[in-house]
Structure 1
Amino acid sequence: MYTGIVLGTEQVCSMTEQQGYRTIWLSNQHGFMDDVFIGASVAVDGTCLTVTQIQPSPSQIAFDISDQTLSLTSLKDLNIGDQVNIERSFKMGMENGGHNLYGHIEGTVQVIALSYLGETLHLELAVPTEKMKYLFHKGFIGLHGCSLTINQIDPTRSSIAVDLIPETLRLTNFKTLQLGAKLNYEIDQHTRVLVDTLEAIHQRQNK
């Protein structure tokens, strides 16, 4: 499990295509993954990935990404040199400063507008229509692994808006976002359970 508090970014060093999956090697320049082990879980742009290889010098960490995961996420569009957001899995006793995330990505949302309000970045995102029922004003959403608050909802456009403070921009790859970019998103699972349960009850009552 993760909290949506990204530690920082690391760089894609190399990639190789395999049968049914892709292996990516990430730098460990900032030491976020100094104590990882084979089988450990790390969120990469919000996607829960498993450490499959460790290279001590230079320090690089490998992850295998299945074709299914590639098809759902923005990881399929990564290029060598790209920066990705990194979060280590939650440990008991740690502070949870965000909200519970699992790294199970729904798909991607697209940046349809971005503007700076002072040093804060305002993002408008197009969301698949069928997923809008899980998103609420002042609710949570995971975007590229970051726990963010939804500040606007527009059901007619099937869109939401979030605002990124300077510290979030400093630590993440959001600082290089461009119009049309696609971001991995994760719905708050507690909200999903509530909405789906209420829908199921309503359907049974109306039979």
Structure 2
Amino acid sequence: MFTGIVEEMGRINQLGYDKPGSFTMKIQAKLILEDINLGDSISVNGTCLTVDHYDKEKLEFSVGLAPETLRKTSLIELEQGSLVNLERALKPSSRMGGHFVQGHVDGMGEIVEFKPEGDSLWVKVKTVKEILRYIVPKGYIAVDGTSLTVVDVFDEEDCFNFMLVAYTQQKVVIPMKKVGQKVNLEVDILGKYVERLLSTGFVDAIKSS
């Protein structure tokens, strides 16, 4: 479980198939390595990945990516030198600064517009209807692992938007991307639970009891 509050931006040192069927990503970081252990869960651009090696002297850790992860996320678009959002898994004693983020990417969106307003930045993202159905104005969404508040939903365009304040722009990778690039999306899990309960007739059963 994560909060969507990015702890630091890491840099991709190396990525690719180190042996047939095994895609490995080596990431340079600092804060993440302070209390790292093998098997830890790290959110990399919103994707929950498992640490399989680390070197504190080189300030580097590595994670393996399954074929399904490469198919379902934007991580396949990364290159050596790319920056990524990093967050360690939530501890029971941690402050909950964002919202409940699982690191299980629901799908991808495509950035269709950046529009500055003052020192803030509007970002508009296009996605598929299957994901957009769970996105509501003033609701939560994780974009590349960043907990954000949706401002508007444009159903006719299959789009939604959000605003990044000046501070956030300096701390996450989204403003560094270009129009047309992909982002990982994770919708608020509460919306999916509510839909599931309604579809099973749970609410009707409660009313009639």
2:28 is the counterpart of 1:27? yes
Taking the aligned partners of 1:48 and 1:69, their CA distance within structure 2 comes to 10
- Mark the CA change 1:200 to 1:67 in structure 2 (over 3 Å): closer, same or farther: same
- Mark the CA change 1:51 to 1:155 in structure 2 (over 3 Å): closer, same or farther: same
User: For 1:152-202, what per-residue CA distance to the aligned partner results, in whole angstroms no more than 9, with x for missing partners?
Assistant: 011111110111111111111123121111100001111111023223439
Q: How does 1:1-20 map to 2 (within 5 A)?
A: 1-17=1-17, 18-20=19-21
SS of the residue aligned with 1:23?
Answer: strand
User: For 1:119-140, what per-residue CA distance to the aligned partner results, in whole angstroms no more than 9, with x for missing partners?
Assistant: 1110111120122221111111
Aligned partner of 1:89 in structure 2 is 89
* More moved, 13-22 vs 183-192: 13-22
Q: How does 1:52-131 map to 2 (within 5 A)?
A: 52-131=52-131
SS of the residue aligned with 2:192?
Answer: helix
2:155 is the counterpart of 1:150? no
Q: Is the 8 A contact 2:106 2:131 kept in 1?
A: no
Taking the aligned partners of 1:200 and 1:160, their CA distance within structure 2 comes to 29
Aligned partner of 2:39 in structure 1 is 39
Taking the aligned partners of 1:21 and 1:73, their CA distance within structure 2 comes to 16
Aligned partner of 1:141 in structure 2 is 141
- Mark the CA change 1:31 to 1:131 in structure 2 (over 3 Å): closer, same or farther: closer
SS of the residue aligned with 1:172?
Answer: coil
| TM superposition shift of 1:19 | 3.0
**Paired-residue identity, %:** 27
| TM superposition shift of 1:70 | 0.7
Structure 2 residue ranges without an equivalent (≥5)? none
Amino acid at match of 1:81: G
Taking the aligned partners of 2:149 and 2:12, their CA distance within structure 1 comes to 28
How does the TM-score come out when normalised to structure 2? Answer: 0.92
Taking the aligned partners of 2:135 and 2:4, their CA distance within structure 1 comes to 17
Aligned partner of 1:177 in structure 2 is 177
User: For 1:79-137, what per-residue CA distance to the aligned partner results, in whole angstroms no more than 9, with x for missing partners?
Assistant: 00000000011011211110000000012100111111111110111120122221111
Taking the aligned partners of 2:124 and 2:200, their CA distance within structure 1 comes to 31
Amino acid at match of 2:125: L
Taking the aligned partners of 1:80 and 1:20, their CA distance within structure 2 comes to 20
SS of the residue aligned with 2:35?
Answer: coil
Taking the aligned partners of 1:55 and 1:93, their CA distance within structure 2 comes to 27
Taking the aligned partners of 1:32 and 1:119, their CA distance within structure 2 comes to 29
Amino acid at match of 1:45: N
SS of the residue aligned with 1:171?
Answer: coil
Aligned partner of 1:189 in structure 2 is 189
SS of the residue aligned with 1:161?
Answer: strand
Structure 1 residue ranges without an equivalent (≥5)? none
Q: Is the 8 A contact 2:23 2:65 kept in 1?
A: yes
